[in-house]
Amino acid sequence: MEKHHKFSIWYVLLGIWVVLLLQQYLVSVLAIKVIPYSEFLRLLKENKVTEVAVKANEIQGRALLNGDVQSKGELFRTIRVDQELSELLAQYHVTFKGEVESTFLRDLMSWVFPILLFVGIWYFMMRRMTGQQAGFMTLGKNKAKIYMEDELNVTFDDVAGVDEAKQELVEVIEFLKDPHKYTELGGKLPKGVLLVGPPGTGKTLLAKAVAGESRVPFFSLSGSEFVEMFVGLGAARVRDLFVQAKEKAPCIIFIDELDALGKARGFGAVGGHDEREQTLNQLLVEMDGFDPKVGVILMAATNRPEILDPALLRPGRFDRQILVDRPDKKGREDILKVHLKGIKASEDLDVERLAAMTPGMVGADLANLVNEAAILAVRRKKKQVDMSDFEEAVERVMAGLEKKNRLINKSEREIVAYHELGHATVALSLPGTDPVQKISIIPRGIAALGYTMQVPTEDRFLMKRTELLNKIAVLLGGRAAEEIVFGDISTGAHNDLSKASDIARSMVKEYGMSAKVGQVYLAGEKRPLYLETGFRGQDEYSEATAQLIDAEVREIVEQQYLKALEILKKWRPVLDRAAKLLLEKEKIDGETLKSLMDEAGA
């Protein structure tokens, strides 16, 4: 790549310093002795002046200052006072001449140098402004970060948990390494490869790994970098991007967050043809125009494939879609092993158990988890990161920062203890629920006064109706315990009620698990596939159906609340013993509570 050296004001200051040193050196070498005019007259009368040069107000020359007759004399300078000097010089047979004083250096220092200094400072400031604002003349240039083949050190060894996606991309790598292998049979590689999946699953890393394995240049930019304030600027950048890519072919163009650029046309456009649509049209034209045999492959990533323009996804453009989904337990284990290479972990670290404790986490979450565990180990002044640090990191990521300094009065601590034990007791009593790992009454995060940590033993992709009902009962166990023990309820169950209501509403509207409502889908517009947002589409059913849905949701929640009450009344003695223990220790594990229940049951 071409390297541009930046102008610095230090270059000007260094030049001034060199000039001053040179001037001082010349003055020291060509030293001229300054003598009084009276001394000059005395030397003149004694025939010790050999030659002079007369200026308007100064006399320079050579004279025998030390009395050495054999030498040419030393240089001297004196200020002229006598106006009839020529008569004296002629009287004593001294050759003399007049000189016109040169003012070149003085004019240079007084006029030219300040101008040069001003121009240098102006140039420096303009370069700074150009670097920040990109300059008017560079507006049409693309903003892609170009990684050459020797600058990418990412390979498939750095990517884990997405084995199926890597297998799909092997063909892209083989084509970039040996395109003749495909063109001899008349085959054509897909022009565009779209990586689809939730945020943090490693789509960008996977694209870099493809370029690293292929050893080709990699153009990386975001979809939002095309769209600017000026009309036509995005289209110009698209054209410039493909021109540069063809010059460096074979290469890979990677556009991150494609949904910022490729959103379906006709939505949100005031005039029907805004700047974003012009940019998208230009991208579609460029994808149709370039020859796949050239070796330019366009890759893109998005977590909103449902809003992309259909013209982008048709054959001949992004005609291959690769799912980069959340990793399963084995994938999380492989990802953890990759990130554990960068820290000093203890040899007895159980990576398989750690992977089981992190269901639903993606690569970015696991990287953050490993980093949090390393920070905790440093805080505890350990030499290695062990399992206890990772367990604490999992709790911190899931529940928030532990706040031991938050003062809670005795009665509230007791309410929190029974509330959390209510969740845990119901969970241990019902089949198909996630095992209870830990119960704590130490406040965490913003509003959590305590928490019950449940860790699944395996990844689940389907849930039965009974399992969903039991999950609602577990969520309502905290409220049920408060009612049984204190005869009153608190505000601590607001989050539990929200989750339980959402599950019940999804059972009725989306999963068809209500006998009264029937096997129908009533959730309105589809939500984003990979984004957890609160946006819901407009409901398309009658008011009578809405009343029926509300009644069904209320009935499901009430039935599971009664189930939780029944369970906790049965285990009331265990609830009291466990609460006393929890108030004393602040934390107990699930095995402790289970052993208390086994003793009482026996």
* Catalytic sites, residue numbers: 420
How many Å from the N-terminal Cα to the C-terminal Cα in the chain?
A: 77
Give Cα 48 distance to the centre of its chain: 84
Give Cα 446 distance to the centre of its chain: 25
Residue carrying the six token digits 């050459």: 148
Q: Is 493 helix (H, G, I), strand (E, B) or coil?
A: helix
Q: What are phi and psi of 115, to 5 degrees?
A: -65, -45
Tokens of 284: 């579609």
Residue carrying the six token digits 């003012």: 103
How far apart (Å, rounded) are the C-alpha atoms in residues 132 and 140?
16
Q: Is 120 helix (H, G, I), strand (E, B) or coil?
A: helix
| Alpha helices for 48-112 (secondary structure H) | 85-91, 104-107
CB-based contact 172:297 (threshold 8 Å): yes
How far apart (Å, rounded) are the C-alpha atoms in residues 256 and 304?
12
The closest alpha carbon to 429, from 482, 484, 477, 496, belongs to 477
Q: Which residues contact 377 (CB under 8 A, 6 or more apart)?
A: 384, 385, 386, 389
Residue carrying the six token digits 């006598």: 82
The closest alpha carbon to 507, from 549, 451, 450, belongs to 549
- Read out DSSP for 250-268? SEEEEEESGGGT-BPTTSS
Tokens of 199: 């945020």
Tokens of 363: 């690569």
CB-based contact 60:52 (threshold 8 Å): yes
Phi-psi region of 70 (alpha: psi -120 to 50; beta: other; left: phi over 0): alpha
Beta bridge partners of 194: 300, 321
Q: Is 427 helix (H, G, I), strand (E, B) or coil?
A: helix
If 0-12 CB within 10 Å is exposed, 13-18 middle and 19+ buried, where does residue 405 land? exposed
